[in-house]
Each structure stands twice: as structure tokens, then as C-alpha cells.
Amino acid sequence: MPFTENIGAATLDGLAYVGGLARLGASAARAVVMDVFEPRRLAYDRAVHQAMAVGIGSLPILSLITFFIGTILALQSAYELRKFGALQFVADAVAISVSRELGPLITAILVIGRSGSSFAAEIGTMKVNEEIDALETMALDPVRFLVAPKLLSMLLMMPCLTIWADFMGMIGGAVFGMAAADFTFKTYVIATLDALVLRDILTGLIKSLMFGLVITTVGCQEGLRTGLGAEEVGRSTTSAVVKSIFLVIMVDLVFTAMFYLGIG
Amino acid sequence: MAEELYAADTLGSAQAPVVSIRNLHVSYGEREILHGISFDVLAGETVVILGGSGSGKSTLLRTLVGLEKPTSGEVILHGKNLCCITGAEWRELRQHIGISFQSGALFGSMTVGENVALPLLEHTQLDPATIEIMVRLKLNEVGLNGYEDYMPAQLSGGMKKRAAVARAMAMDPEILFFDEPSAGLDPIIAAGIDQLLLKLKEAFGITIIVVTHELASAFLIADRMVLLDKGHIVAVGSTAELQASTHPRVRQFLDRVAEPEISQEIDYLQMLTGEVPRPRQ
């Protein structure tokens, strides 16, 4: 009985947590829309600052990681494909795997490590230092002031980063293709373009938007829930990373299943 | 004692209070922190809320600025009952009050100038050049001329508190709240903060509410004092009235007498079992 009670309590906690994320996401989205109709002078600056931190700051490490992932994927595919004399399909395997799955997922995991954790740490530190209270007493809504610019920048930058990750992954695959599979750069590019259809790219981009939403809301919610003391900031940051990774994988599963059942 | 001073000092006044607290109860979960607090603050006066650690003075301040919700009772700020006002009314009201937090609560990612400019940028339509002038004026008022481009981390504790006062003053508030303005500062810097409060009161006639446990500072700046103990008001009155008080808790606090050690077996047992000890007189 206690076991089932524990499962029930944990399920309710999980649902309440996701409900909290949905509320925070909705409030932040509303604030983003309000900023469009009632522009404030600082909102634009904060969104640009966040976009630079989330997007431009991630580019070097994202490029490197997705390049290597592309090469590794080509190597792993080639291991099986060469048994069937189908080494020319390496480009197809890399292109589809990267654009539909690994590009958005690796981008999301990297952004969780860089930005999701920093959102939680930044807001958590502000909470500990009474800065969130100060915002409220200055009649500034913390969600509109802190979360909305982060959400806007994340929704803009995640698809851009994902496209870049797809590109670098395919370049990584091309290096293997040219070195070990009798491709020239041109023939590899042609094979990749032949293998890809628009929906492969689009499904990846839709997933990247959802990942951006999850990373922002989890990071900010964990930051806003930080208790008192420096130790709590560390706890929030760790919790933001773990929960974001779990929820990103869950969202990935749900959307991949939907695309499989819906549009193939 | 508390009731006598309270009646003589506030309710009898012809002047309308700017802050009026009536039978205020505040709880954190099941634990009640404030048990029926009532007092008034008149326009232009400086009221110091005194009390030891855990007396509920910071909770009272947080309730007065809307960061905690009362369980019951009334807080009337600037004619608005905080229990019943809308979000829009709160936003409007908050533009008339300024708060200086214990830690300063300056935004670490912004310069001192940007911190002071923030409320002006968000709540006014002033052009950037005017805001820049106003920031310089406010920083000059608190003795931080030329520190606009410094980051909060580059300032000393006293300077942070001064910058926080400048930010709290940015919208020319009618009521200023201070949470432990001298806490953690050396005596000379703390005296400087006291002088700053006196200067603000003299120059602008602002109503000031200060939460502190620093006795020297409290007696220097206060027009009236409220002494809290375990969530109850022990005494309300002028500095002279509190000095003359014979109430045991007032005397204990003002004379800095330590709590007596547990001497009776029954009290010791109650302490061990977590029961509430018998009140001492």
C-alpha cells in the first residue's frame, strides 16, 4: 500500500510540476506578446543580450560537438552498411539521423548545460540576494522582466542553432565519406540533398522549439523556487539540468511518436 | 504599557496616518509569526520597528510592502487596504513607496547608474538625457557622485546601501522602508547611513519606516519606536517614552540583558520535549 501511495504522490507531484511549467510558460508568452504591443525600452536590450548568450556563445562548442557526432554516426553506419555493400547510403543515414534527431537533441543538451543551468543559477542568486523581491516592490513583474526575454531569445535561437548543428553534423559525415567511402565533397552533398526531404528538417525544428520552451521554463522555475542560501542555488542548478534533460527526452519521444504516426 | 503609549501617541492624533495596521496576523504555513499587530505611522515621521532576532520585524516589513500576505487584519497604505486592492492598484501604489533591503538587493548584472535608472525607465516616459541627470541627482543625494558606471560588486557594503537608497528614491516616493540599514557595517559607515536618513527626512519630509535592532541608530533617527517581541507589540512610543519604560521586556532589550538560562526542571523538560515554555514575567 505505501508503495502505491508513493507512486500516486510522485505522479501528483510530477503533474503539479508540469502544471507549474505550463503556467510559467503561458505567463512568459503573454509577457512576450505584451512587449510587442507595449514596447518597453529595456525589454529589447535584455532579449538581445540573452540571444547573444544562448546563441552566439554556444556556436563554437556546438560546431565542434556536432561535427564529431556526424563523423561518429558515419563510422557507425558504415560498419553495418559495408556488410551489404551499401556504403553509399552513409550520407543518407547521417543526413536523416542528424536532421530528425541528433541535431535538435545534441543542441538541446548543450543549451541545457550552458543556458538552462545559467538561468536557474542567475534567477536563484537573485532570489537569495532579494533582487526578485526588489523587482516586485518596484512594481516590475519578475516573469515579464526576467523570464520573457529568456523565452523569446530561446525560441529564436534554438531553431537557428539546430540548423547549424544539422549542417555541422553533415559536414562531419562528409569528412568520413570523402576519406573512406569514395565520395567527393560534391557527390556527398548531392547524396545528402537527395536523401533529405523538407519534413525531416521541419520535424527537427518543431522539436527544437519545444525543447527551447522546456529548457527556459524549467531553468526559470527552478531559479524562482530557490530557497535561502548559496547551497540552494547549487541545488536549483543541478535540478534544472536533470529535469530539463529528462523532460527534453520525454518531449522528444512524444513528438517523434506523433510525427511517426501522423506524417511518417 | 503598549496599549497606553499606542493610544496616547497615534490614535489621538488629528493627522491622518499614511500607514495604518490593524490587528495584523501573518503566518508561514501553520506557524503564526505576527499575532495581532496594530499601530499607525503619520506622514513625515520616522518610525523604527525594533526587536530581537525572530521577533517578526522583518516579516512585518515584508507584509507592509506586499511581499507577504496577512492571514487576517488590515494594512492600509496610502489610503489603500492591501488585502483588497487589485494588481493594477498595487503596481500604482508601489510607485509611491521605496524599499532599501538589508543586502541592498542591487541587480548585479547592472551598473549602479542602471540600477537607479531602472524604475524611471520602466515607469516613466522621460527621455534618456533626463534620466541620466536624475540618476546623477539621486546618487549625489546619497554621496555617490561619480559612481554611475561602477558595478555593485565593486562597491563597499556602505556604498551598496547608499546606492540602494538612491534606487529606492528614484521615483520620489512618499514612504521609504529600510530593512536593517546599519546591519553588517562598521560604526563609522553605520553612522553615515543614519545621517543620510536624517538628511532625507529633513530635505524631503519623507515618511520613513526602519526595521533594525541597532539601538544607537534607532534612538538617533526615530520619532517613534515600535518594540516587537515574539510577534507581539511590547511597546509603542517616542524615544523618551521607551527610555522611561519600566516594562521588563523593554528594559531587557534596551539594557541588553541576556535571556535567563533555564533553571527549573519543568522548563528544561518542556524545552527537551519541544513544548512551549511557560511565559516569564
CA-nearest of B59, B46, B67 to B208 is: B46
| A138/chain B closest Cα distance in angstroms | 6
The reply to whether residue B105 touches residue A130, judged by beta carbons under 8 angstroms, is: yes
Tell me the per-residue pLDDT of A9-45, one tens digit each, with 9 for 90 and over. 889 998 999 999 999 999 999 988 887 777 665 667 8
CB of B149 closer than 8 Å to CB of B132: no
CA–CA distance, A106 with A128 (Å, rounded to integer)? 32
Average pLDDT value for chain A: 90
CB of A138 closer than 8 Å to CB of A211: no
Tell me the per-residue pLDDT of B45-73, one tens digit each, with 9 for 90 and over. 999 998 888 888 889 999 998 888 899 99
Which amino acid is residue B144, in one-letter code?
A: L
DSSP letter string over A94-108? HHHHIIIIIHHHHHH
Whole-number pLDDT of residue B14: 54
CB of A244 closer than 8 Å to CB of A218: yes
Q: Above pLDDT 70, what percent of chain A? A: 97
pLDDT at position B277 over 70: no
CA–CA distance, B156 with B163 (Å, rounded to integer)? 10
pLDDT at position A78 over 70: yes
pTM check: above 0.95: no
The pLDDT confidence band at residue B271, using thresholds 50, 70 and 90, is low
A139 contact B CB<8A: yes
The reply to whether residue A129 touches residue B103, judged by beta carbons under 8 angstroms, is: yes
Residue B62: its chain A contacts at CB < 8 A?
133
Average pLDDT value for chain B: 83
ipTM over 0.85: no
| B89/chain A closest Cα distance in angstroms | 10
